[in-house]
Structure formats: C-alpha cells, structure tokens
C-alpha cells in the first residue's frame, strides 16, 4: 500500500527574536539575536543574568482573561501558537478536520513558573493551605495540550511528550506517524517552554552548562561551533505546526510549506546529560530518519543542527554528521538557530521545524551567528553569520536531549 | 457590617485573588457588580471557587459551609450569605 504523505499547512511561533511567522522569518534570515538581560525576575543573585526571553507577550491578547488567569506561561505559549497555526492553515472551529485532529505537544518542564510560586508560598508561610486548590491544572505538563483542545474544541488523541531538549522533535514525529498511518488526517503539534524562572535558571547555572558573552555584547553568549563557545543561553518560546495528509490539504486548497518525510527516534543509553562524544547515536538517528523517508545520504541539502553552543554537543554533533555522511559531510550546510534564540529546551525542535519549513519555502538557510573563531575539530560548513540562498529539497532537523534522547525529522520540498 | 461594606470587601477579596492567581502580568480587570455571576462572568471554575471560599473565611473572620457557598453564583447571593454567616458566628 502506498504510504500517505504528510504536509505542513500552518505554523505559529513565539521566539525571543520574533513573535509570529513573519517577524520570526525576517529575524532568522537577517541573523537577529533575541538574547538580552533577564527581565522576568530579579536575577541579581544569579551568576548568569542573561537569557533569550519572549518579548511583548500579553496572553490576554490571545485568549480569554479567565484562561490567561488559570494557565502558566508555558500553556499560554501553546494556546497562542496553536491558534496562530490553526488560523494560518485556514481551519475553522467545528470543521471536522479540526475537531478530529490530534494535539501532540512537547514540553520538557511543564508549568515551572507556577510550580515555583506554589513552593515559595508554602515555604514562606509554612502553611500548606497557602497552596491554591487550582495549582495542579496549572502545573501539569498536559495543561498545554488540554487547553489547546479546550480552546479549539479538538477531540482527537491528546498528548504531551517530555523528553527534555528533544521533546518537540519527538512530538512532531509522533504526530507525523499518526497522520501517515491514517489514524488521523490532521494534527496540531509542536513544543512549548517557559524557562525564565529563578529556580530553573539556578538549576541550569549549577550544572555549568550556561554560556557567557564575549566582552560586553550579550548577544555573543550563544556561539555554536565557535572555538570560544562555553555553553548555551537559556531561551523560552513555542511553536506549533499543522500537519495534514496531502490529499486532504490539496482538496481544501491549503497552502503547503513543506512535506514531512521521515522521523528517527533513539536513545543513546550513554549518560544522563553528556552526549556520546563519538556521536554514534545521533548519527544512527539521522540515518533512521533518512531511511524512514526512503532517501539517500547525498540527498540532504541542509541540516538544522541541535547546535547548543556547548563544547560537548557541538563536537559530538559534528562527529555524528561526519561519520554518517563521510566525504559528503563538508558539502552540507549545517546551521544552528540557537545562536539567535538560545536553547528553548522542549520547544527547540518545534521552532527548528518552523525554521526548516521557512528555509524550504524561501530557498534560504538561516545562519549560525557569532561564529568567528574556527574550531579545528568543528570543520563543517556552518553557514557563518550570513543567511544563504539555496534551493532546498531535503532538510534534516536534529534534536538531542538529556538522557541521550534523540529525535531527527526530515522535511522536503513538496513535489 | 452593612451590605455595602460586605460587598466592597468581597469585591476587593475576589479582585485580589484574581490578581494573585495570575502569573501572566496582564493587568486587565474584570468589573464586578452585585449582578456579576462569578462563574459565567468572571470565568471562575470550581477549584478557584474553593480558593476564594478560603479567602472569604480569612478576610471576614467567619466559618462557612463550603459546599453551600459554592452553590451561590451571584455576588449579591454571596454577600447575603456572608451577612447571615457573620451574624450567626
């Protein structure tokens, strides 16, 4: 039986360098960084005082006040980007394409902001009654997929996948499989993360994984593949995509950004936080995604790297690409949008997916900014500092999470 | 305590709760009158209502039957209930 084909027909994004598809597209192709000082709380006691915050986001502009009041920032991001994607796809409420859809969202941390508030309220007063009755539905990770469903009356399978930094790569992959298998025709999928809270920042700071700027320019703090890179910048954000079966999309005259053609998912079973330096598990995941798509290695025109800007990740990912693609590795442009928007943890795979679809649709590769000092061990074409025009037929998007959790998506230009 | 005093105190309590229970930073207020239905008009759900009952007990220094109070929908009914509880306490 012929495999059903799956296409992207709508997208929505909130990122530190642009809210909404048009602003984000302009920002990533122009190399605009969203990194700056932390403003969401008083960060004076932290060593790391920078982050990539979503700016100018007022939830009340995107949902009823009562919903905004009852939801953590992470769920608000999901409700907002899902709405953007649904509108972009031209789907309307009560349309069966939407009511029967799946909602599959990635989130590494869930309702972290409110969780911290509830803990502080209890600790400061030693009174458990200070924890509100309405806490659990704010904190639970599936608040995001539930509120997306509630707000849009979407009654198909509803899931949140939590695999740290690969959460939304896994979520999109699962949604892709459900549409391809025929279980559903449409999915609202993506990832969310609201990371800029004091406990979360303190936890990552303690792990020594956060980077610092070169000199006074805070925007230099994220510099994937650069010799001087020393960690990632915590970012927040979200993205949702509408995945749809090809004929279904064509029959209703939907705009098609790109096709999802393959998904690879593995666990390296190597270490809780460090990547395998050989990159063998990452390479295997890319191989599986290409195999799933029925494509050869030499068909890949661009790789959207996980590229966190840590010493270990960027080297292991480079090794993985070299081991899988051999001689051809140096001919493949590889770039990291984390150079501009920091590491958005569970949202990163979804924001990358949006960037990949825009790259295919616009025939343009977003750059790796802040890449000025060559690292002899990172010797691929990382598209330094300037975007590059190129026709793209096949694109890979890498997401590698803590717990050696790997997800790779393959996108293609629609034929 | 007059009915008007009870009303103003109740509005202040609910407004403070709605503000406190928000992590959004958005400042848009919902106007509250004697006719306001806390569920329909303010979008308060049953869990939030339980939190508000707790706040009312603290602020008014009264003990209420939570289950009974949760059946009151309009601000005017809640005010009446508080006035009755106040005099019996």
Q: What is the pLDDT of residues B35-78, one digit of tens each?
A: 999 999 888 988 889 889 988 999 999 988 888 888 999 999 99
- Residues A66 and A189 grouped into a single domain: yes
- Residues A236 and A331 grouped into a single domain: no
pLDDT of A366: 98
- A364 - beta bridge partners? A389
A116 in a structural domain: yes
- Residues A74 and A54 grouped into a single domain: yes
Give the list of residues 6+ apart from residue A138 with CB closer than 8 angstroms, or none. Answer: A70, A71, A72, A75, A111, A114, B23
Question: Which chain A residue shows the shortest CA-CA distance from B43?
Answer: A66
- Residues A180 and A281 grouped into a single domain: no
**What's the Cα-to-Cα distance from A326 to each of A16, A214, A399, A404, rounded to whole Å?**
35, 33, 21, 23
H helices of chain B, in order, are 3-20, 46-60, 66-69, 75-88
Judge contact between A313 and A225, C-beta under 8 A. Answer: no
Question: B37 in contact with A at a CB cutoff of 8 Å?
Answer: no
A285 in a structural domain: yes
A1 in a structural domain: no
Whether the pLDDT of residue A235 is over 90: the answer is: yes
Q: Determine the residue among B16, B23, B30, B49 to mutate to test chain A binding: the one whose Cβ has the most chain A Cβ atoms within 10 Å.
A: B23
H helices of A209-279, in order, are 246-251
How far is Cα of residue A239 from the mean position of the Cα atoms in its chain? 7
Q: Which of A409, A408, A399, A410 is nearest to A165 (CA)?
A: A399
Whether the pLDDT of residue A231 is over 80: the answer is: yes
Question: Which chain B residue shows the shortest CA-CA distance from A70?
Answer: B22
A118 in a structural domain: yes
Question: B78 in contact with A at a CB cutoff of 8 Å?
Answer: no
The number of distinct structural domains making up chain A is 2
pLDDT of A128: 87
Of residues A70 and A244, more confidently modeled: A244
Percent of chain A with pLDDT strictly greater than 70: 100
- Residues A46 and A79 grouped into a single domain: yes
- Residues A380 and A272 grouped into a single domain: yes
Which residues of B are less than 8 Å from A60 in CB distance? 24, 26, 28
d(C-alpha B67, C-alpha B64), whole Å: 9
Q: Take residue B48 and report the two structure tokens written for it.
A: 């939030």
| Domain stop point among A258, A276, A300 | A258
A2 in a structural domain: no
Question: Which chain A residue shows the shortest CA-CA distance from B19?
Answer: A69
d(C-alpha A61, C-alpha A140), whole Å: 24
- Residues A16 and A93 grouped into a single domain: yes
Judge contact between A297 and A311, C-beta under 8 A. Answer: no
- Residues A48 and A189 grouped into a single domain: yes
A197 in a structural domain: yes
Mean pLDDT, to the nearest integer, of A237-248? 98
Do residue B45 and residue A70 have CB atoms under 8 angstroms apart? yes
Judge contact between A164 and A402, C-beta under 8 A. Answer: yes
Q: What is the pLDDT of residues A396-407, one digit of tens each?
A: 999 999 999 999
Mean pLDDT, to the nearest integer, of A214-233? 97
Q: What is the pLDDT of residues A1-49, one digit of tens each?
A: 678 999 999 999 999 999 999 999 999 999 999 999 999 999 999 999 9
Determine which of A107-111, A185-189, A407-411, B31-35 has the lowest per-residue pLDDT on average. Answer: B31-35
Do residue B23 and residue A72 have CB atoms under 8 angstroms apart? yes
A349 in a structural domain: yes
Q: Take residue A357 and report the two structure tokens written for it.
A: 């679809």
| Domain stop point among A258, A282, A316 | A258
Nearest to B30 among A65, A67, A113 (CB): A65
- Residues A231 and A278 grouped into a single domain: no
Range of the domain at A305: 262-412
Q: Supply the CATH number for residue A295's domain.
A: 3.40.47.10
- Residues A311 and A234 grouped into a single domain: no
Q: Which of A100, A13, A4 is nearest to A353 (CA)?
A: A13
The beta strands (E) that lie in A210-277 are given as: 237-245, 258-267
Given pLDDT bands bounded at 50, 70 and 90, which one contains residue B26?
very low
- Residues A105 and A183 grouped into a single domain: yes
- Mind listing the domains of chain B with CATH numbers? 3-88 (1.10.1200.10)
Whether the pLDDT of residue A221 is over 50: the answer is: yes
- Residues A72 and A112 grouped into a single domain: yes
Q: Take residue A83 and report the two structure tokens written for it.
A: 């709405």
| Domain stop point among A225, A258, A291 | A258
Do residue A129 and residue B54 have CB atoms under 8 angstroms apart? yes
């Amino acid at each position: 039986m012929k495999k059903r084909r799956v296409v992207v027909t709508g997208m929505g994004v909130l990122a530190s360098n642009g809210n909404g598809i048009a602003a984000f597209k302009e920002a990533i192709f122009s190399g605009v960084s969203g990194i700056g000082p932390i403003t969401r709380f008083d960060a004076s006691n932290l060593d790391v005082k920078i982050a990539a915050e979503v700016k100018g986001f007022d939830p009340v502009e995107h949902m009823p006040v009562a919903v905004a009041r009852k939801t953590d920032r992470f769920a608000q991001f999901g409700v907002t980007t899902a709405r953007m994607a649904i509108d972009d796809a031209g789907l309307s409420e009560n349309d069966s394409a939407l009511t029967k859809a799946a909602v599959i969202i990635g989130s590494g941390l869930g309702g972290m902001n409110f969780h911290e508030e509830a803990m502080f309220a209890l600790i400061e007063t030693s009174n458990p009654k200070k924890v509100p009755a309405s806490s659990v539905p704010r904190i639970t990770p599936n608040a995001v997929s539930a509120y997306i469903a509630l707000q849009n009356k979407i009654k198909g399978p509803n899931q949140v996948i939590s695999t740290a930094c690969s959460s939304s790569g896994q979520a999109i992959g699962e949604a892709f499989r459900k549409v391809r298998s025929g279980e559903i025709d449409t999915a609202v999928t993506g990832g969310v993360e609201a990371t800029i809270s004091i406990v979360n920042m303190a936890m990552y700071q303690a792990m020594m994984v956060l980077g610092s700027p070169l000199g006074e320019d805070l925007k230099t703090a994220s510099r994937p593949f650069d010799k001087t890179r020393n960690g990632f910048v915590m970012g927040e954000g979200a993205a949702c995509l509408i995945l749809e079966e090809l004929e279904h999309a064509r029959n209703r005259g939907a705009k098609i950004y790109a096709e999802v053609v393959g998904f690879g998912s593995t666990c390296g079973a190597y270490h809780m936080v460090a990547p395998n330096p050989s990159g063998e598990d990452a390479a295997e995941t890319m191989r599986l995604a290409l195999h799933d798509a029925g494509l050869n290695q030499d068909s890949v025109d661009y790789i959207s790297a996980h590229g966190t800007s840590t010493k270990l990740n960027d080297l292991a990912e480079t090794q993985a690409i070299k081991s899988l693609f051999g001689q051809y590795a140096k001919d493949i442009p590889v770039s990291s949008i984390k150079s501009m928007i920091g590491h958005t943890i569970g949202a990163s795979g979804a924001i990358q997916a949006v960037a990949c679809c825009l790259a295919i649709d616009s025939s343009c590769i977003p750059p790796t900014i802040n890449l000025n000092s060559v690292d002899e061990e990172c010797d691929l074409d990382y598209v330094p500092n300037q975007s590059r025009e190129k026709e793209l037929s096949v694109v890979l998007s890498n997401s590698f999470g803590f717990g050696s959790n790997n997800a790779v998506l393959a996108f293609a230009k629609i034929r | 305590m007059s009915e008007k005093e009870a009303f103003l105190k109740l509005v202040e309590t609910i407004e403070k709760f709605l503000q406190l229970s928000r992590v959004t930073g958005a400042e848009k207020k919902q106007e509250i009158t004697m006719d306001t239905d806390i569920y329909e008009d303010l979008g308060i759900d049953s869990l939030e209502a339980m939190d508000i009952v707790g706040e009312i007990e603290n602020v008014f220094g009264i003990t209420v039957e939570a289950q009974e109070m949760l059946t009151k929908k309009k601000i005017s009914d809640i005010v009446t209930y508080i006035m009755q509880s106040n005099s019996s306490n």
